C-alpha cells in the first residue's frame, strides 16, 4: 500500500589480497583525529558517473543546494518510511518547496522484512500515479532498506531515472548509500535481485543519528568497525579510543568516523565498481551474517548485528588458517563488545548455516568465497573448499571464548 502527498515548489586456494593503491584521501594510514569542518565533501570518482558525498552536522536543509549542483530534476519523489517521514519529512519538504522543487512522498513500511517485490511495486505505483517520466528524480530518505529499494526502483523505472541518497542511519551513511548497490530480498536469500546503479549525490547529515535508538546505532557501528579490520588498523584503534565520544554521538566524532568510512569505501568502489575482485572485501562478515538474517526471517537480528557475529566467525576462521593471531581475534571481539554488538551466533544447526551460505552472491561455480582478515588492517578473499570443517571449528572457538568470559 502507498500514499502520496503532493506539495510543490577458505584452505590454500586462490586468494585476492585487499591491499591496493588508492588515489585519494588518506584512507589506509595514519588516522589520528577529528575533522575540523562541519561540512566535508568528497567525490566517488567513476568517470561520467562520478558523484559527490556531503558529510556534515545540520546540513539536511542544504539538500536543495546539493540538488542544484548535481543538476537534479525539478520534479522529485521522496521515498521514505513513516518513522523517518515523521522526523524529517516536513523539513525536507519545506526546503525543497522553498527552492522550487515539486515533490511527492511515497511512504513504505519500515523493516527488512518489507524489502520485497511487493513493496517495490508500491514505489512504481506511486511514480506512475503521479505522472513521473525520465526527466524526474527520486530521493531516498531513510536507512538501508529505503535506500536499497529506492535505488532499485530508480534503476528500473523507465529503464533508469536519477536518484539521490539521504541516509539517516549510521549503517546506511557508511555503507549502503555509497557504491550503487541496489536490491530487494528473495525468500531464498538477501539482496538476490538488484542492480548496480550509482546515485547523483549522497547527502549525509550526522545529526539524524541522534534519533536512532542505541541498538540501531550499534548496528551501524559494526560496518564502521569493518573498515578498520579490512583496511586501516589506525582507524580500528581510533574507534576504541573514541568510543565514548561516538556513543555520545558528538558531532565532530561522528563526522570523523563517517568521513573515514566513506573514504575507504569510495576508494574501493573507484577501483572495482561492480565487485569483480577488490570490492568483495567489503563483505567481511556478510556471508555468515546474511545466513543469520535469512534463517531468522529478517526480523530478529539487525543487519549490523548479524555482520558483527559474521566478522567474529571470520576472525576465528582466519586464526585457524594462521592469518591472524589470538590477540587479533581478542581485539576484534573487544571492540565489537565495546560498542554493544553481539559476538555469538544464534543456535541454528551447522547444516542450516551451510545451506544458507550456498546461496551467497560470492559463491563461484559452487565454491564459497570468504573475506578473511589478515591481522587487523588487511584482508583477503579465500575460496573455501571445506566449509563444514572450518565453520565447525570457528563455532567451537566462539563457544569456548564465551565460556571463558
Strand ranges inside 24-66, DSSP E = 39-44, 51-56
Q: Is 279 a catalytic residue?
A: yes
**Active-site residue, from 201, 231, 286, 374:** 286
> Cell numbers at residue 99, please?
527552492
**Active-site residue, from 114, 181, 201, 319:** 181
Per-residue b/e over 29-39, b at no fewer than 16 CB within 10 Å?
Answer: eebeebbeeee
**Active-site residue, from 275, 293, 305, 383:** 275
Concatenated DSSP letters of 99-142:
TT-EEEEEE---SGGG-SHHHHHHHHHHHHHTT--TT-EEEEEE
Longest CA–CA separation in the chain, Å: 62
Q: Is 159 a catalytic residue?
A: yes
**Active-site residue, from 223, 273, 293, 383:** 223
> Cell numbers at residue 196, please?
548496480
Per the CB < 8 A criterion, the answer to whether 149 and 184 are in contact is yes
**Active-site residue, from 283, 293, 305, 333:** 283
Q: Is 286 a catalytic residue?
A: yes
Per the CB < 8 A criterion, the answer to whether 89 and 158 are in contact is no
Residue given cell 581510533 in the structure block: 238
Angle at 194 between CA 69 and CA 120, to 5 degrees: 80
Helix and strand element counts for the chain (H, E): 15, 13
**Active-site residue, from 103, 104, 114, 279:** 279
Assign 277 to helix, strand or coil. coil
Assign 272 to helix, strand or coil. coil
Q: Is 290 a catalytic residue?
A: yes
**Active-site residue, from 114, 265, 316, 369:** 265
**Active-site residue, from 6, 23, 159, 365:** 159
Q: Is 275 a catalytic residue?
A: yes
Task: Say how far apart CA 293 and CA 261 lie, in whole Å.
Answer: 24
Angle at 222 between CA 109 and CA 200, to 5 degrees: 60
Assign 363 to helix, strand or coil. coil
Q: Is 114 a catalytic residue?
A: no
**Active-site residue, from 260, 303, 316, 319:** 303
Task: Say how far apart CA 283 and CA 65 lie, in whole Å.
Answer: 33
Q: Is 11 a catalytic residue?
A: no
Please report which residue ranges of 272-295 form alpha helices under DSSP H: 286-295
Enzyme catalytic residues: 159, 181, 223, 265, 275, 279, 283, 286, 290, 303
Amino acid at each position: 500500500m502507498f500514499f502520496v502527498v503532493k506539495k510543490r515548489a577458505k584452505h590454500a586456494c586462490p586468494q585476492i589480497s585487499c591491499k591496493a593503491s588508492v588515489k585519494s584521501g588518506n584512507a589506509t594510514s595514519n588516522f589520528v583525529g577529528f575533522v575540523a569542518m562541519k561540512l566535508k565533501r568528497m567525490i566517488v570518482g567513476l568517470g561520467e558517473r562520478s558523484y559527490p558525498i556531503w558529510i556534515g552536522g545540520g546540513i539536511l536543509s542544504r539538500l536543495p543546494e546539493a540538488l542544484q549542483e548535481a543538476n537534479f530534476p525539478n520534479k522529485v519523489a521522496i521515498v521514505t518510511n513513516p518513522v523517518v517521514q515523521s522526523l524529517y519529512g516536513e523539513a525536507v519538504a519545506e526546503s525543497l518547496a522553498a527552492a522550487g522543487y515539486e515533490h511527492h512522498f511515497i511512504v513504505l513500511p519500515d523493516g527488512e522484512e518489507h524489502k520485497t517485490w511487493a513493496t517495490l511495486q508500491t514505489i512504481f505505483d506511486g511514480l506512475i500515479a503521479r505522472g513521473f517520466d525520465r526527466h524526474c528524480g527520486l530521493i531516498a530518505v531513510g536507512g538501508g532498506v529505503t535506500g536499497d529499494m529506492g535505488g532499485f526502483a530508480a534503476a528500473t523505472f523507465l529503464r533508469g531515472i536519477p536518484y539521490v541518497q539521504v541516509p539517516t542511519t549510521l549503517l546506511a551513511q557508511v555503507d549502503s548509500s555509497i557504491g550503487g548497490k541496489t536490491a530487494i530480498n528473495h525468500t531464498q536469500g538477501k539482496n538476490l535481485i538488484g542492480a548496480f546503479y550509482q546515485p547523483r549525490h549522497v547527502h549525509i547529515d550526522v545529526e539524524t543519528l541522534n534519533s536512532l535508538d542505541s541498538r540501531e546505532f550499534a548496528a551501524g557501528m559494526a560496518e564502521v568497525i569493518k573498515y578498520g579490520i579490512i583496511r586501516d588498523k589506525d582507524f580500528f584503534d581510533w574507534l576504541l579510543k573514541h568510543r565514548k565520544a561516538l556513543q555520545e554521538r558528538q558531532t565532530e566524532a561522528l563526522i570523523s568516523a563517517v568521513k573515514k568510512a566513506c573514504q575507504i569505501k569510495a576508494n574501493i568502489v573507484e577501483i572495482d565498481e561492480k565487485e569483480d575482485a577488490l570490492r568483495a572485501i567489503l563483505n567481511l562478515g556478510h556471508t555468515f551474517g546474511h545466513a543469520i538474517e535469512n534463517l531468522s526471517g529478517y526480523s530478529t537480528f539487525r543487519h549490523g548485528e548479524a555482520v558483527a557475529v559474521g566478522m567474529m566467525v571470520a576472525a576465528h576462521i582466519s586464526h585457524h588458517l594462521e592469518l591472524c593471531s589470538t590477540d587479533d581475534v581478542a581485539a576484534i571481539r573487544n571492540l565489537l563488545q565495546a560498542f554493544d554488538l553481539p559476538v555469538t551466533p544464534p543456535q541454528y544447526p551447522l547444516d542450516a548455516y551451510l545451506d544458507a551460505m550456498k546461496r551467497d552472491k560470492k559463491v563461484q561455480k559452487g565454491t564459497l568465497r570468504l573475506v578473511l582478515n589478515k591481522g587487523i588492517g588487511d584482508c583477503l578473499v579465500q575460496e573455501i573448499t571445506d566449509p563444514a570443517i572450518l565453520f565447525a571449528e570457528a563455532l567451537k572457538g566462539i563457544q569456548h571464548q564465551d565460556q571463558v568470559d
